Structure 1
Amino acid sequence: MTTTYAVLSEGLRKNYGQVHALRGLDLAVPEGTVCGLLGPNGAGKTTAVRILTTLTAPTGGRALVAGHDVTRDPAAVRRAIGVTGQYASVDGDLTGRENLRLFARLAGLRGPARRARADELLERFGLGEAADRVAGTWSGGMRRRLDLAAGLITRPRVLFLDEPTTGLDPAAREQIWTAVRRLSAEGTSVLLTTQYLEEADRLADDIVVVDGGRAAATGTPAGLKARIGAHAEVTVAERGALARAAAVLDRLTGGRPVLDEERLTVGVTVLHDTLTLPRIIRELDTAGVPVTDASLRPPTLDEVFLRLTGARPATPDPDPDLDADADADPHAESRPRPRAQADQEHAA
């Protein structure tokens, strides 16, 4: 069966003078899936999204979104996508209903159709009761849901979410996650950039870890975790037992046990998934090692991220084409601002 891709890039490069923001980025996002784009600040994530949403041109390579070349047919790309940036870009002086009707009008929907679409999205995102209150009085989570609704006005085939839950509390974050899961289940393809690794773990079918302008690793969350292995740790009752515990763990895992004489622990990476905690305890007991505690846990996505990219100071993505605060939103210039526009729309 042939796989069709919502987003496909091959050797994508972007240079700003001597700065190489992208150095040959390859992406392949199957239709109807959620792809999490992760990486440290300065890795090239924002630059990649700006290219894929036609906000900036690549220096080299090729990128297709919804089957359209971002360089040769940017207008077709824009018609096929929706974008929600890091910060809600709705107008706080307008009501929720006015915001969505104006977005619909700018998208080319006519009177009855734009009113119906706005009302449909308000109800879908649980915003119906607040629809006629100005958005500036809404909570951060409600504004983010309104922003997400605005990105869906045209029923996009591909939705770009740039850190959609930044600054939200856990309850509001869960509401956004529920909305994203529903969109994916309905067939919308989603490219998600996020700094919340739990978010990628919970939402993404596949993850691409970007580092140094390239894809450092690609796979499912479970597959990426399996690359670095689980972590076993044993606490012994006496210092003299540390060496014997280490020998047992070495034999069972083939890893390199790390001894902590102060905490009386031995830790080791487990690179295969057949080893169980009961077997570890049994083997230690057979060897006469007095154990007071033992654990075997899978790695977190945070550990995978740090292992693949390393810890280093944060640096911004270089992009002189846009202000530092600009969202990766190809419709940004069309976002409503003046109240007079809303009044005109309301009259329509």
Structure 2
Amino acid sequence: MGAIENVMENKESRIPVEAKELLKSLASEWEDVVDRNSLQVIPVKGAMTNEVFQIKWLTKTETFSHKVLLRVYGEGVEVFFDRNDEIRTFEFMSKHGQGPRLLGRFHNGRVEEFINARTLSASDIRDPEISALIAAKLKEFHDLDMPGQKIVRLWDRSRNWLIATKNLSPPEEARAFRLDAIEEEISTLEKALYRNDQHIGFCHNDLQYGNIMIDEVTKSITLIDYEYASYNPVAYDIANHFCEMAADYHTETPHLMDYSKYPDLEERHRFLHAYLSSTGDQPSDAEVKQLLQDVEKYTLASHLSWGLWGIISEHVNEIDFDYIGYAKQRFDQYWLTKPELLGSSGATTNALPDALQNILLKF
């Protein structure tokens, strides 16, 4: 998940030795750098998969500094995605002007071009003007002709994450989250959400505000961080974006979701209309309505997959974040909304039982 700057200096000790050598090599190419060995390290707050830093060097003019972005991969997160696939996606995006350039790689991370743009905040993605820009950019992203098989990855990924979750979770935690029931839930969703005419596109799959940047001058949007990107139903990607509107990762309790902030019907309709009309065609009311219905149902898949992500992250990631508390909220929202969104087929269960919720407090 993405990030926003939090300026904290003198953190060079957190940079791997191999990364320092790469950074110094890059700096040696700039003749105006005062001292290539003098790095200003600024942790970028809000990242939950990797550690991210802005790296700066002072120049002889003193009014300008060179900047790059350093990404140090989180421990154990390879369970979520194939890092080689991500790099291929990153390079493809770069070549097609969709994101930052790749400047160099080291054993457990990479250095990227620093984009002269502002990372969005939780409130930005609710702004109607910015939201319309995001919708248009997302449509452009979905229409990219990425190399590789154009098949849905969502369900296989969810099953793989479930296997990893079961392997990592102690018995008490597994019972609390009903992990034995989740495989059937994944199959139920796969069948219930399938439509033979659904639009499959190249999806970002993690479109939270920290992964969206805006150039304040040109008002152009850039989507960053492609770890989770793959082909999927575009309705899933949009649903995931809507769910992220309930999050604010820059509070004292960043794991807490506020579902009262989930976009209302008017906001959702406005976003989908902007999305469908961004290529110049005017969508019919029926098209917007159908996409809206699909998106709402795919919020269930978002809750389920990110709930599993939270449990896994608790066991493999050392970043300071209440992953278990986050996972609990996503599963709670899944069980709460499933009956309404899937009708009678979803009326079997509700939120996690109180007794099991108490167990989760131990983790």
> TM-score, normalising length from structure 1?
0.24
- Highest RCO, 1 vs 2 (Cα 8 Å, sep ≥ 6): 1
Q: Which has the larger radius of gyration?
A: 1
